[in-house]
Amino acid sequence: MTKNLVIVESPAKAKTIEKYLGKDYTVKSSFGHIRDLPKKGLSIDKANNFEPTYEVSPEKKKVVAELKKLAKGAEVWLATDEDREGEAIAWHLAMALGLDTKKTKRIVFHEITKPAILAAIENPRLVDLHLVDAQQARRVLDRLVGYELSPVLWKKVRAGLSAGRVQSVAVRLIVERERAIAAHQAESSYKIIGDFLSNKESFSAELNTKPATIEESKKFLEANIGATYTVKSVTKKPGSRNPGAPFTTSTLQQEAARRLGFTVRQTMSVAQRLYESGKITYMRTDSTILSGLAINAAEQYIKKEFGDKYHTLRQFKTKDSSAQEAHEAIRPTDFTTETAGEDSQQEKLYKLIWQRALSSQMSPAVTDKTDVNITISTRPEVFVAKGEILVFDGFLRVYGGGKDDSLLPDLKEGQALQNERITATETFSRAPARYSEASLVKALEEMGIGRPSTYAPTISTVQDRGYVEKQDLEGNERDVRSAVLVNGTVKEDTVKERYGADRGKLMPTAVAEVTTDFLTKYFGPIVDYDFTVKAEKEFDDIADGKTAWNKMIAEFYNSDFKPLIKASADVTREETSQSRTLGTDPKSKKPIIVRFGRYGPMLQKGETSDEEKPAFAPLPKETTMDNVTLEQALPMFDLPKTIGALEDGRPILGNIGRFGPYIQVDKVYVSLKEHDPLTITEEEARELFAEKLVQIAERNVADFGKIKILKGPYGPYVTDGKKNARIAKDVDPTQLTEADAKKILDEAPAKKKFVKRRAVKK
């Protein structure tokens, strides 16, 4: 019989902890949450204090049965994570296993090390029901919003959409940023750089003003012909750079994206594995505080490896006073372990955490900063040169990646300088930067929206649901004018510059814009930034025992939410389609309208009320509902267009579908990546079609009529047009007979049928 049963969330965590406890302890995993609100139905009794109805997840019934069996006659220790979610899992375990929460032991630890585990065993507590209530309030609130608001979107905007308290606010941020970028009017000015010589050492200095036009810039350069240059002043002052605080969840996500190129989800997944294997402390935290034990361990390591002068004791203060049950920042459990992890991703992330935590206890980097002002004999403006020299590396010894040194020659006041050239280059004001995953996390944290544990799933959800796409943008080209003074002559030039190029940035889709506009107009309080922040503070009050969770939910639902749901019933679909009349078709005299349709943005010729049905067309490439014009829209109604014909007379059609522009010959479709179906020539279309036929021929391994063997992106497979079956790697597909192919197809498992979920009628 089991004497002591310790229950954790994950098998990896269980495996690590079991090594530290004696034979009297059995450590088992619940494999995450075991109870939740059912997937179907609201399961919240609004008439009875919003009491939720939970059920054991079907896939967890075997786990619960095993844990119940082990718990009989044993001392049970609930050892789930120390945050609210972990507390809720512990409570659900107690409920599912029939344990008394007033007696069952609850233990928490910030790191999975032997001292921490043994200390937790020596200091058990009970399940904190206030923390459970805070998590329960979040779950119930999000269920109410998602379950009752999503069907409104299905009716008024488009079927299949979803809404969420944090999710919809995140989408709103991205939509508003994209609109700010679109509205930005770039203003140009001219940056003037002078290249000088001092005792054969060259350096650059920038003019302290920026002319607005090329004419002003040329006038300045012409005034410098024959001018002399003198060092007016040299100012030197010591400077320093201090290390950053140890990582919180959000700063780890941001830095892992910047330095390692990790996505937010990837960072949390890798950090989870490092935590479960006992290498780092708990990775969901708002705190920048280090324990006294960690500070002492870091001090010993720094002094031993680098010397006393590299150590400076620090304790960072957590910015948010309401930080969610966070006891310590993310750090390695052992500072003497410089490398850890079972794969390259774990090793990279561990190294980053180790460097950041250790450097937080190291001395500042010391620099010498130099500012030099250079006068012009013929003009009142001044050239300014700035330099910085690293005197003592301090924490940069461990955690570098900062600014590069900009060295200046040893200049003295009154010194004459030789000018090599002066260049005036047109520069443009920049639009706000698009959000990356990391910068969105930073924005959400700064605004107090959500909590560290919600950022990764939120960012994944808005992409999975089609509201946001991560894109690489090629940008556009523009003319950049410049002028240069060299050897007493001013020359002007114009070059092409690419701007607006971006990699891995979050772009809103058309459905995101329409949904955001609808929610902002009819559910403003729900997607209001202040409301979302206020909800988080109320969750904190519940966790502190200051507010009853049912009361908070009742006030929100009855006062804020329910009236909006009722009012939205009167909103017509036409109001949400954002239809805009672009003008009149000169031929048919019918209105040309742009609006949001069932499958996204579309063009419409004619009214739905007309006897003759309207004609529909897709938007032109690289246009939006906001900026498409009548002139751009009219040619789209000529699609599908006959581009020409093949040599055998078969017509080539051009069109734009749901997945972009294409040409078509019979049942063969060729996607157009660099061409427009309205402008592509017959010759170009023939070449693309010929290339497609070659691809098809290479793709066909064998053709037995109904059954074919084809090459796919994941290897060769057999198909009869309805069912596909992979061919084993050790089998040569070219040697298979029709009978072999049929056998492979017959033995392959049937494809699972997709069942469309329907809204529950009320």
* Active site amino acids: 282
Query: H-helix or E-strand containing 54?
Result: none
> How would you class 56 by CB atoms within 10 Å of its CB: exposed for 0-12, middle for 13-18, buried for 19 or more?
middle
Q: How far is CA 12 from CA 8, 15, 90, 112, 118, in A?
A: 10, 5, 18, 11, 18
Amino acid at 155: K
CA nearest to 409, candidates 370, 361, 442: 370
Torsion sign over Cα 626, 632, 637, 642: negative
Residue identified by tokens 């594995």 is: 273
Query: What sign for the dihedral angle of Cα 671, 673, 678, 681?
Result: negative
Q: What SS3 state is found at 209?
A: coil
The residues facing 332 across adjacent strands are 280
In whole angstroms, give the CA distance from residue 417 to residue 411. Answer: 10
Neighbour-count burial of 66, counting CB atoms closer than 10 A to its CB (0-12 exposed, 13-18 middle, 19+ buried): exposed
The span from the CA of 438 to the CA of 503, in Å, is: 13
Pairing of strands 580-584, 591-597: antiparallel
Query: Is the Cβ–Cβ distance between 29 and 529 less than 8 Å?
Result: no
Q: What CA–CA distances, in Å, run from 504 to 62, 246, 474, 480, 509?
A: 42, 26, 11, 26, 15
The closest of 489, 568, 479 to 523, measured between CA atoms, is: 568
| CA–CA distance, 87 with 82 (Å, rounded to integer) | 6
**Measured distance CA(113)–CA(336) in Å, rounded:** 14
486 phi/psi in degrees, rounded to 5: -150, 135
CA distance 557 to 559: 6
First to last CA, the chain: 51
